Structure 1
């Protein structure tokens, strides 16, 4: 047990163990060794965190702070993320196996999300209504909802937390964040920055544990809004849990995103975009471009380049600067991917490259894999793998491309590569997805909304519009007449 670190949860401004002293181990996918011990929260811990958040919302310094003062805390938090990006990146890489050069960059860039919402905090306004009744003035205020339950998965936790925490706090809410049991450490390290940024106790609380923790949180009677990112199975449980508190719910549930390449596309740019979309972050991204839809005229040339690049990807230690792809985060992902590739072979799919673990590395590493699919009915084409596996289909007409892109249950993102401007617009309108990238892929910004349709969930995160999702309008009627109410039995 040498070198194993013990971590604590953040509740009401204090670092605490679980009420019953329960723990679970965190195993690094880099070497398969236990490196951290995490509190296994109980329902009592969750209740304590939610009640602390509720008190902070209704009482104390947070409740009386102006929007500009809230913005100052958020701006300081953004600055601290940049200052501590090396520590945060190292913790995330150690816990998830993601590339260190990506995690430390992401920690720095996520600071921009908090800067964005710092600036937005005092920009939410109501309106005066041109009411149809004389002697009445009617206006609206937008007010925060209360306690927000934020539930995030292990991948890109800083980003997925920022798009929830940023607008929620800017609007005046408080937060209980349930982090993934697969990689809790990065968010606990993030929690150390909360008090330093000036947030009062109870405004941000972080709890750790497994499914029971999520159930206790999302069904808690004091929770006003639930923001969830994860899989559809857990999302259905959350919707059922919300029947207990009638909380507002938003869901981001991942995807099986189409990456469409027409025969007039810049082939080199499209190939590089596809590599980034499916092999970047070891394919462990909700917007991974895992369905490659190629025009028949360029399919062979495209795949020749793609296979060459895939075979040259350097797989290894994610802490090393020259590594291009690290391990999968969990053993479960590895087994799921292996099973789905075996099924794809049975259904007629042909593995063009990869399809197995690389020799000599062990652990949860997996080769960049490309599977040629003879028809659109293969199971793998509508199954999110969360790994470096690309399924390929061919098309001849624009109508075929649209039909293939819209097939299946997901609708988070899509990529379109074509030089034809009119076609770009037609395709962007026709594809059923919440995000469409044209001649680029896997780009995010605090200014742009993020979210899906169909089985990829509902609601939007990031962007200014998200501020409205964490507030509700209150309508205020003011009688300006000097005359008394004429008849109390007649509605005006």
Structure 2
């Protein structure tokens, strides 16, 4: 096995303590590499390097040059697409067909989009009522940003966070999830190759203790976190106590509604992909299905046909549709929910209770019906290939059910009636509404949730603004 180091101040270095951890191939359960485990000393060194870059070469760089470097990084991601796709699949269990077609191209697209922003960040001249006064605003970088990345889309989420932060002129310390550090570290190499000044981007690998030390560091001006709601609440509390700016993109239990007039073939296909894509390991997975009673049985039968045909297998097999879950811990978590669903009386229509893992962490696509609203499988985020399906009779009823959750990340509606579609888009409480589709994306479109699904937005202008601090300048024009 090889050992992968931290990336601090433009160099790859071992952890100060020499401590490492092992990253595992979830398709086989075998070790891939030993990775440096950052501790408090490494966190301090990375934050110090980011501060020096912020006060030095990065802040003095013209906006056009900053944009050129970000665009150069997009070029390098594309040039190394095959390697990045294989690393992402090997380390996280994501099917290679998906990492090649979606994860890597989407990451490059993020950098390319935000590479166009630095020359377009403008202040405003404000026509104030005070006589003989010039009042204008400047938009300045927030400062040193801690960015904590999840394991389900490690390369793409790194791009989501790095792109706007760098475009705004911030410097960053990135902490990837301990389950999936490899593509983030390879991205660090590409950042160095692109020519970013040392310290502009730093990468710290480690566990939750590393992330906590980073979030606690007084030299951090903003925290951006994607992950579980439980950890997000802890980070939000810390940020609130220190009055540190924070963006939180958290969990979901997203409702997906099929009205009786929907194109059922499209609705079934979209609902299947909406929940089982990435083996259900997506914060905006369509994990609560509500189909009108008149079409409910037809929808379930259509889903069962697709589930039966699903190819579950090793991530590097090009024919694999659903890969393994990311870790033994996640496997046990999902297995526990399936057991609970059966024990609480839900009807298991597809899938089975997984046994002890034999090599990889594979869970078959699972479907429950006869689900009561108070069941854990209906209320809580499972983050696995598990769908709960419920019939409804009226629109008012399904709106109450859909909104009756602590989460509010996404919601979907399938109907041929545009009036019904847009009326429901207004009534559903979520950060993203998908009409006759599920989870399309674009770097220009904001993404985020409400309530327990998070604070703030990523991507688009809203994502950029999260890394900018407006400064108001007042000038008395009569002073000599």
TM beyond 0.5: yes
- Measure, in 2, the Cα distance between the counterparts of 1:81 and 1:358: 39
- Unaligned 5+ runs, structure 2: none
Q: Secondary structure at the match of 1:122?
A: helix
- Measure, in 2, the Cα distance between the counterparts of 1:23 and 1:275: 39
Name 1:110's counterpart in structure 2.
107
Deviation at 1:244, TM superposition (A): 6.1
Deviation at 1:96, TM superposition (A): 0.9
Deviation at 1:237, TM superposition (A): 2.0
Q: Deviations over 1:235-279 (max 9, x none)?
A: 122123325643101101121111110110011101110111111
- Measure, in 1, the Cα distance between the counterparts of 2:356 and 2:91: 23
Name 1:70's counterpart in structure 2.
66
Tell me which stretches of 4 or more aligned residues in structure 1 moved more than 4 Å.
Answer: 358-362
Return the match for 1:330 from 310, 327, 331.
327
Q: Does 1:79 align with 2:81?
A: no
Q: Secondary structure at the match of 2:335?
A: helix
Pair member with larger Rg: 1
Q: Secondary structure at the match of 1:242?
A: helix
Deviation at 1:178, TM superposition (A): 0.6
After the TM superposition, which residues 265-276 of structure 1 pair with which residues of structure 2 at under 5 Å, given as runs? 265-276=262-273
- Measure, in 1, the Cα distance between the counterparts of 2:379 and 2:405: 6
Q: Deviations over 1:315-367 (max 9, x none)?
A: 11221111111111111111111211221122220000102339996521011
- Measure, in 1, the Cα distance between the counterparts of 2:275 and 2:358: 21
Q: Secondary structure at the match of 1:201?
A: coil
Name 1:487's counterpart in structure 2.
none
Return the match for 2:301 from 301, 304, 316.
304
Deviation at 1:373, TM superposition (A): 2.9
Return the match for 2:49 from 52, 55, 76.
52
- Measure, in 2, the Cα distance between the counterparts of 1:216 and 1:281: 30
- Measure, in 2, the Cα distance between the counterparts of 1:183 and 1:102: 16
Return the match for 1:194 from 181, 188, 191.
191
CA contact (8 A) 2:338 2:353 kept: no
Q: Does 1:119 align with 2:116?
A: yes
Name 2:140's counterpart in structure 1.
143
- Measure, in 1, the Cα distance between the counterparts of 2:350 and 2:108: 38
- Unaligned 5+ runs, structure 1: 485-492
Name 2:214's counterpart in structure 1.
217
Name 2:153's counterpart in structure 1.
156
Name 2:442's counterpart in structure 1.
445
- Measure, in 1, the Cα distance between the counterparts of 2:276 and 2:192: 37
Deviates more, 1:456-465 or 1:353-362: 353-362
CA contact (8 A) 1:354 1:367 kept: yes
- Measure, in 1, the Cα distance between the counterparts of 2:360 and 2:387: 21
Q: Does 1:431 align with 2:428?
A: yes
- Measure, in 2, the Cα distance between the counterparts of 1:375 and 1:357: 23
Deviation at 1:179, TM superposition (A): 0.6
CA contact (8 A) 2:249 2:456 kept: yes
Q: Secondary structure at the match of 1:437?
A: strand
Deviation at 1:374, TM superposition (A): 3.8
Name 1:6's counterpart in structure 2.
3
CA contact (8 A) 2:51 2:171 kept: yes
Q: Deviations over 1:107-141 (max 9, x none)?
A: 12211111111111111111111110111111111
Q: Deviations over 1:288-316 (max 9, x none)?
A: 10101110000001111100110110111
Q: How many residues align?
A: 479
Q: Secondary structure at the match of 2:73?
A: helix
CA contact (8 A) 2:29 2:359 kept: no
Name 1:490's counterpart in structure 2.
none
Return the match for 2:84 from 83, 88, 111.
88
Name 1:474's counterpart in structure 2.
471
CA contact (8 A) 2:254 2:286 kept: yes
- Measure, in 1, the Cα distance between the counterparts of 2:17 and 2:276: 42
Deviates more, 1:339-348 or 1:178-187: 339-348
- Measure, in 1, the Cα distance between the counterparts of 2:423 and 2:355: 41
Name 1:19's counterpart in structure 2.
16
- Measure, in 2, the Cα distance between the counterparts of 1:127 and 1:360: 59
Deviation at 1:197, TM superposition (A): 1.4
Q: Does 1:319 align with 2:355?
A: no
Check 1:360–1:340 CA distance in 2 against 1; reply closer, same or farther (3 A cut). Answer: closer
Return the match for 1:392 from 376, 386, 389.
389
After superposition, the CA RMSD in angstroms is 1.4
Q: Deviations over 1:145-204 (max 9, x none)?
A: 110000011111122111211111001000000110011111111111001112110000
Name 2:40's counterpart in structure 1.
43
After the TM superposition, which residues 258-269 of structure 1 pair with which residues of structure 2 at under 5 Å, given as runs? 258-269=255-266
- Measure, in 2, the Cα distance between the counterparts of 1:114 and 1:35: 28
CA contact (8 A) 2:88 2:155 kept: no
Q: Secondary structure at the match of 1:338?
A: helix
